[in-house]
A and B are shown apart, each in its own frame.
Chain A
Amino acid sequence: MWFVVPLFLAIGFLGGIYLPVILPVYLTKYLAVAILAALDSVVGGVRAYQEGNYNSIVLITGFVTNSLLAAVLAFIGDQLGVALYIAAVLAFGVRIFQNLAIFRRDFLVKTGLVH
Chain B
Amino acid sequence: MANLKEIRGRIKGVKSTQKVTKAMKMVSAAKLKKAQDRMLALRPYAAKMKEIIENVTSVVNVSDIPSKLVEQRETKNVLMVVVTSNRGLCGPFNSNLFKFITQFIDKNLAEHHKNGSLHFVCSGKKGYEYFAKRKYNVIGKAADFDILSNLTFERAEEILGHVFEGFEEGKYDQVYLCYNEFKNVMAQERKVDLLLPVTVDKGGEEVSGPKADYIFEPGREQILTDLIPKSLKTQFFRAVLESNAAEQGARMVAMDAATENAEALVKQLKLSYNKARQAAITKEILEIAAGADALEG
Please determine whether chains A and B interact with each other in the same assembly: no
